[in-house]
Amino acid sequence: MSDRRRLYVMAALALAVAAGCAALVATSLVTGAGPSLHVLHVDGRRIGVVEDPEEVTKCVESMLAEARTVWPADIEVMSTVECTPLEEGDGDPGEPPLSASELSEKLSSTLEFSAKGYVVRVEGKDVVALRDRAAAETAIEEVRQAYLGKADKNGVRVKVEQVRILQQIEIVEARVPVNSLKEPEEAKQILLRGTDRIALYTVAKGDSLWSIARSRGMTVEQLRRANPQLVGDRLQIGQTLNLIVPEPYVNVVSVETVTQEVAVPFEVSVSYDETKWPWEQVITQRGVPGKKEVVLEVSKKDGREVARRILSEKLLAQPVTQVVVQGSKMIPDLGTGTYAWPTRGSITSRYGFRRSGFHHGLDIAAPVGTPVIAADSGMVAFAGRLPYYGLVVRIDHGGGKVVTVYGHLSKILVKQGQVVDRGTVIGEVGSTGRSTGPHLHFEVRLNGETTDPLKLYPAS
């Protein structure tokens, strides 16, 4: 039962008892019993002065009767209630006796009731108590079920082969304070997390794991343990974090058989056609991935996978090979062997190692729009956009033996397959792709390998 519900019950109880006690006092006045002041103690704590101990007994009895209608019928008063004659010097002289409503209020806030409960004992330690054995068994069963894998819509089937709580658990009958009795769901949370308390935090702008942990008196390591779903340091605004580090009383290990369908990649078969240029490619048969059924054995501890192995694989659908016809026509030797400087500007970065890694070309800084020319005659093997290079032109000067590359252009003025002469304007300097300012990235490849472009210019 939640705390709120229990409070409500206690309040209702207090009201009912207050009415009952008022009636009792009236009766005692009519019968003419003389006032003899007594001091009331509950569990050794002085509560106040009463006129008649009988009044206290009746009030406790009526409270108990009322409690029996809400709590288990075997409920008993746990607290020690004592009334002793008021002696001189005890309390203030002239202390007014408790009124009937004061008495019932004080008693309802101090009296503890006990009932027969079923305590879940883990490795000999009492952890949580429930009203009946069935509720305790339900809680333990829910703990066993807590982490089991579920089938999802992608055709994954899960069969639980084994699930076991590592610790020794027993259910023991005992008298327990009624307000310590928990519902199965609360008991499950306590067994799995060490508490049924929930504390959440919503990530705001500027938060980091470190700042959140520090503001809550936690370490980043604790915050991570409370949120096993976190990977790396990245947080998203609005994301909810758990602030309670789980301290489980029990660990659950399970073995599941997971059956799932997995795609089988298709193969690609390439045939060559000497009548087509290398950039001409035709797919004559589109590849289709196949499908296989994989059966896995997955072992988990507290829901986290610790091991997996493949039990079997069955091919459900054969993949269809992709068939590609690739042009292999040799680009004729068009180069003259003497090279023109590709643009007007100054070298800002040479070929070779630099801080950011190996630089495969030569950087020539020039204003945006400066013409870029073909270093030698050849055929445009590529003209378009590529990662890193941005707008780029690649010229093959003959059979792939010498290829020049012009990157970061702002404009391309030639087309793939076009034959260009040495000195033909092929584009304009720009800063496209990964570039920090306008420049030409000029690259030379000999038989596929980059080389220092300056080697082509022996005179310079």
Q: Whole-number minimum distance, CB 360 to Zn ion, in Å? A: 7
The helices-and-strands tally (H runs, E runs) of the chain is: 7, 30
Per CB under 5 A, the segment of 123-131, 206-214, 392-400, 441-449 that binds Zn ion is 441-449
Task: Pick the closest to residue 118 from 75, 166, 179, 182 (CA basis).
Answer: 182
Q: How far is the CB of 364 from Zn ion (least distance, A)?
A: 9
Of positions 441, 444, 445, 456, contacts Zn ion by CB under 5 A: 441
- DSSP-assigned states of every residue in 17-54: HHHHHHHHHHHHHHHTPPP--EEEEETTEEEEEES-HH
DSSP state letter for 400: T
Residue 210's CB: how many other CB atoms inside 10 A?
A: 12
Q: Which is nearer to Zn ion, 36 or 348 (CB)?
A: 348
Residues numbered 117-176 forming contacts with Zn ion, rule: CB under 5 A: none
Site for Zn ion in 355-374 (CB under 5 A): 361, 363
Residue 308 C-beta: closest distance to Zn ion, Å: 46
Nearer to Zn ion, 363 or 396 (CB): 363
The distance of closest approach from Cβ of residue 362 to Zn ion in the complex, given in angstroms and rounded to an integer, is 7
Of 135 and 362, the one with the shorter C-beta distance to Zn ion is 362
Distance CA 210, CA 17 (A): 53
Q: How far is the CB of 428 from Zn ion (least distance, A)?
A: 17
- The distance of closest approach from Cβ of residue 408 to Zn ion in the complex, given in angstroms and rounded to an integer, is 8
- Please work out the total of residues on this chain that contact Zn ion, with binding judged by CB under 5 A: 3
User: Distance between CA 62 and CA 22 in Å, rounded?
Assistant: 12
Q: Which residue is nearest to Zn ion (CB)?
A: 441
Nearest alpha carbon to residue 386 among 396, 378, 394 = 394
Measured from the CB atom, is 196 or 363 closer to Zn ion? 363
Smaller CB distance to Zn ion: residue 363 or 376?
363
Residue whose CB is less far from Zn ion, 50 or 405: 405
Under the criterion CB under 5 A, does residue 394 sit at the interface with Zn ion?
no
Residue (147 or 406) nearer to Zn ion, CB:
406
CB of 211 to Zn ion, least distance (A): 40
Residue nearer to Zn ion on the CB measure, 101 or 450: 450
How large is the C-alpha radius of gyration of the chain?
42
Which region, judged by CB under 5 A, interacts with Zn ion, from 54-62, 133-141, 390-398, 434-442?
A: 434-442
Residue found by looking up tokens 């950039």 in the block? 279
Nearest 5 degrees, angle CA 240-CA 242-CA 246?
A: 160
CB of 315 to Zn ion, least distance (A): 48
Q: Which helix (H) or strand (E) holds 204?
A: none
Contact stretch for Zn ion (CB under 5 A) within 59-67, 106-114, 224-232, 353-361: 353-361
Nearest distance, CB of residue 381 and Zn ion, angstroms: 19
CA–CA distance, 7 with 170 (Å, rounded to integer): 30
Contact 392, 404 (CB under 8 A): no
**Residue 64 in tokens:** 């108990």
Do residues 321 and 358 touch, judged by C-beta distance below 8 A? Answer: no
Q: Which is nearer to Zn ion, 193 or 441 (CB)?
A: 441
Q: How far apart, in whole angstroms, are the C-alpha atoms of residue 377 and residue 159?
A: 68
Taking the C-alpha atoms of residue 250 and residue 190, their distance in angstroms, rounded to an integer, is 10
Residues that bind Zn ion (CB under 5 A): 361, 363, 441
